[in-house]
Amino acid sequence: MPGYDSRTATAPANYLSKGLQGEFANTYDLIREEETWLGELFMDISVDGRNAVEQGWYDVPLPGNWLRGESPDEGDFSEFTKEYIVYDHKTPWLTWHVDDEQDDRSPKKFTSRVQDSAELLSRYDEYALTELLAGSGSTYLNPLQNYTSITGSSLFNDSHSYGPSGSLDNITTGSGVATVQEIVKDWYAVLNGFRGMTNSQGDPYWGTQKIDSAHFFILCSPAIEQVMDAAWKSTNVVMSGGSLTAETNYLPMRDKSKVVVWNRLSGNDWFVFLANQDHCKPFVRAKRKAAEVREWNEENSDWSRANNKRGLMWWSRLLYGMYSPFCAYKVDN
């Protein structure tokens, strides 16, 4: 996604403003480079206005018998659409008195305030993700957006309906988080859940080979870090009915998945996402406008002239929404 676009900044009218804009740009781009793991969860789409419409096709009807003399069946090549809304996001307005700048007494904390503002705006994907996982928008997301997936249901649901004959259940009641055995049991429930998903024609959405060779991205809170870490690193565990060794259980789990402990999550729920699936992502995002500065000074503002003050703020125009439940699973504890 695009980073900070310095070409959109208003020409600075003073040295303090110019320096602060430089601090913002440097911090913004640096933080964006650190947030690469979010690419596993978001599909980047293009948008050229206040709204974006994503169009997709349901699966091709299954082949069937063609008896001699029969007319060809046209088939049902239906489609679906999803509409998303662009929303504006801004930093708090930072102001200072002209005399302080002229006397070289501008607050030394200005630089850190600007750096903090740049970090918060550049991490907006993270803030959006907290509400996307919860399935609603309030603080960070557009409250007018319809937060449903391409099936018309919330992203995590036990009775998705997809097209003419498709269905899936991508939420399971967890066994708990007290023991490694409970985590292992739920892990295999998730794998079986992915295998049970069907496309719009009622055929398996993910073939057996795709699931067996897939890589998974797992998101959990610090509250269950210890047991999740043990589950993915243990070399032997006794389950009811016998012992599962590293060769038969844990090494495949480690080879096929990456666990990310995310400090913006809380509680005992954990999420599993199919990774490296460019055509199938649980969420979408778009940047209608990169971070742009707005500057108030004596040349462009009655407020500045009346109060002998100057100010800066930054804003972006962003879009977030739900997309496909086929690559996402929730263990609900």
pLDDT at 233: 78
- Out of 3.30.2400, 3.30.1490, 2.60.40, 1.10.3470, which CATH number does the structure's domain 1-60+81-155+282-325 have? 3.30.2400
| Separation between Cα atoms, residue 62 and residue 67, nearest integer Å | 16
Please report, for the chain, the start and end positions of each structural domain, with discontinuous segments joined by +.
Answer: 1-60+81-155+282-325, 171-280
Q: What is the pLDDT of residues 193-234, one digit of tens each?
A: 999 998 888 888 887 767 777 888 899 999 999 999 888 877
Q: What is the pLDDT of residues 284-332, one digit of tens each?
A: 998 888 888 999 888 889 999 999 998 899 988 999 999 999 999 999 9
Ranges 4-13, 15-24, 125-134, most confident: 125-134
More confident residue, 41 or 51: 41
Q: What is the pLDDT of residues 231-277, one digit of tens each?
A: 887 766 666 655 555 445 555 566 778 889 999 999 999 999 988 77
pLDDT at 111: 82
pLDDT at 108: 64
Q: What is the 3-state secondary structure (H, E, C) of the chain?
A: CCCCCHHHCCCCCCHHHHHHHHHHHHHHHHHHHHCHHHHHCEEECCCCCCEEEEEEECCCCCCCCCCCCCCCCCCCCCEEEEEEEEEEEECCCEEEEHHHHHCCCCCCHHHHHHHHHHHHHHCHHHHHHHHHHHCCCCCCCCCCCCCCCCCCCCCCCCCEEECCCEEECCEEECCCCCCHHHHHHHHHHHHHHHHHCECCCCCECCCHHHHHHCCEEEEECHHHHHHHHHHHHCCEEEECCEEEEHHHHHHHHHHHEEEEECCCCCCCCEEEEECCCCCCCCEEEEEEEEEEEEEECCCCCHHHHHHCEEEEEEEEEEEEEECCCCCEEEEEC
268 touches 33 (CB < 8 A): no
Q: What is the pLDDT of residues 143-170, one digit of tens each?
A: 878 888 888 889 999 988 888 788 889 9
Q: Burial letters for 35-48: b for 16+ Cβ neighbours within 10 Å, e otherwise?
A: eeebebbbbebebe
- Sign of dihedral through CA atoms 167, 279, 76, 72? negative
Q: Burial letters for 193-215: b for 16+ Cβ neighbours within 10 Å, e otherwise?
A: bbeebbbbbeeebbeeeebeebe
Of 40-54, 104-118, 167-181, 243-257, the least confident = 243-257
| Separation between Cα atoms, residue 333 and residue 321, nearest integer Å | 25
More confident residue, 193 or 279: 193
DSSP 108: T
Beta bridge pairs of residue 271: 219, 330
* 55 pLDDT higher than 60: yes
pLDDT, averaged across the chain:
82
153 touches 161 (CB < 8 A): yes
Of 39-48, 58-67, 209-218, 270-279, the least confident = 58-67
| Separation between Cα atoms, residue 48 and residue 135, nearest integer Å | 25
